[in-house]
A and B are shown apart, each in its own frame.
Chain A
Amino acid sequence: MLLRLAACLAIVTATSAAPVRADARSDARAQVEFGIDVAQRGLWREAIYRWQRAVEIDPTYAAAFNNLGVAYEHEGEFDKARGAYEKALQIEPENVQIRQNFELFKEINDRRRSANDKP
């Protein structure tokens, strides 16, 4: 009886956790989509706010971290951009688009740093 109860509890927990995750992702996705919309209109600070909200809601959302990387890069916040891209790649290491963004970012960042390091 106790075993049956434990099994039922496990099933209930498993089935209820999935919708919670799905809800988090769908809330985060709404923030991401809104962020994309405003970024396309040039409102990058607002986009950053939305994508920050998205990663707070769902810290496993690679796309949101990628978008944050792009936005920080656009704002000249290079350390934050690097952090966001690295996080996105940590979550989705095989994502070609994130990798491509990161490579382009690194190219500019390296050039900027070597220029600043010159005596």
Chain B
Amino acid sequence: MTDGAPRMTSRSPLLAVLGAVCALGALSLGCGITYFEIPIETPIQPKLDVSAFQRVLIAGFVAGGSEDVDANQETVRLLRSQLRSKSSLRVIDAEVMPLIEIAQDQNRSATADDEVPEPVGATNGVGGAPERGDQPLPLPQEIRDEKDIEPYERLFANTAYWKRIGEEHQNPLIVTGTVLFMPHTRSGFVSRDQEQYDSFGRRRIVPTRTFTERKGFILRPKFVFIDGRTGATMHSESYREEILYNAQQNTPALSSYFELMDRLVPNFLNALSSQKIRGTRVLLK
């Protein structure tokens, strides 16, 4: 009898736990599932009202920074293909506009016009130079950085020019802008996990900080949306993306360009068309 009592007491907590588990199990079975995962698609409305346009012209970009990538051609090609599949606007197939040359031509004619006296308040002719009244900044022949690209931006304010381009293509929405894709290096301490073995042969992962030189690229596009009916800028947006690799890693410039553009394309598309963000949520009973 004296042996039985302790056995009884030692078993009773175990039985109690088992009982509780069974009770919980029965309860959950009785209640059934109380939540459901469901896929949802959240619509994001476009930033621009483009309902007045049936067509879009990706005209071209003032591009520079790296000689390894023709950022004008590649950006036009990429945006056209994205819009073809992800927008209801018809994409116009046209020659990619060499905007650097166009801007320089406009600049030359503006400078020439300045030398000939004209009545005050005269506006630029169709496809002509920017508005008079201020001395245009010289345009650098080669674009290496932000400073070089800045003077080219007045091209987008030339409403008469863009209106003429719009008329040539039956008044579409015009997308243009600047793209700077430039090589970039950065040195500094980088934290890395390092595998180490102690005296007992046990493996350990130890974070270590090492000084490394990394190289990569910076992509700085500015998208300008122009109303082809009036030549006026409707909207513009600028982005900056950067990618860095180990100095030993040899990544082609073009693949870096696409990697960086991939990050920006959803934002660009969202300016023109509604996007859907896929996700999962939990519905509860």
Residues in chain A within 8 A of chain B (CB atoms): 29, 32-33, 36, 39-40, 62-63, 66-67, 70, 73-76, 95, 97-98, 100-101, 104, 108, 112, 115-116, 118-119
Which chain B residue shows the least CB distance to A92?
Answer: B284
Measured between alpha carbons, how far is A35 from B43 in the docked complex, in Å? 21
Nearest-neighbour CB distance to chain B for A55, whole angstroms, equals: 13
Question: 18 A–B contact pairs at CB < 8 A?
Answer: A33-B285, A36-B36, A36-B283, A39-B283, A63-B285, A66-B284, A67-B283, A70-B40, A70-B283, A74-B40, A74-B41, A76-B42, A76-B43, A76-B44, A76-B45, A115-B44, A115-B47, A115-B270
Measured between alpha carbons, how far is A39 from B40 in the docked complex, in Å? 10
Residues in chain B within 8 A of chain A (CB atoms): 35-36, 38, 40-45, 47, 236-237, 267, 270, 277, 279, 281-285
Cβ–Cβ < 8 Å partners of A75 in chain B: 43
Measured between alpha carbons, how far is A106 from B285 in the docked complex, in Å? 23
Nearest-neighbour CB distance to chain A for B241, whole angstroms, equals: 15
Which chain B residue shows the least CB distance to A33?
Answer: B285
Nearest-neighbour CB distance to chain A for B236, whole angstroms, equals: 7
Measured between alpha carbons, how far is A57 from B267 in the docked complex, in Å? 42
CB pair A73 B281 closer than 8 Å: yes
Q: With A74-B40, A74-B41, A112-B44 in contact, is A36–B237 under 8 Å at CB?
A: no
Nearest-neighbour CB distance to chain B for A54, whole angstroms, equals: 11
Which chain B residue shows the least CB distance to A69?
Answer: B281
Cβ–Cβ < 8 Å partners of B270 in chain A: 115
CB pair B47 A70 closer than 8 Å: no
A104 partner, pick from B43, B44, B281, beta carbons under 8 A: B281
Q: With A119-B236, A119-B237 in contact, is A70–B36 under 8 Å at CB?
A: no
Cβ–Cβ < 8 Å partners of B285 in chain A: 29, 32-33, 36, 63
Cβ–Cβ < 8 Å partners of B236 in chain A: 119
Cβ–Cβ < 8 Å partners of A101 in chain B: 281-282
Cβ–Cβ < 8 Å partners of B36 in chain A: 36, 40
B283 partner, pick from A29, A62, A66, beta carbons under 8 A: A66
Known: A29-B285, A74-B42. 14 other contacts (CB 8 A): A36-B285, A39-B38, A40-B36, A67-B283, A67-B284, A70-B282, A73-B42, A73-B281, A76-B42, A97-B284, A108-B279, A115-B267, A118-B47, A118-B237
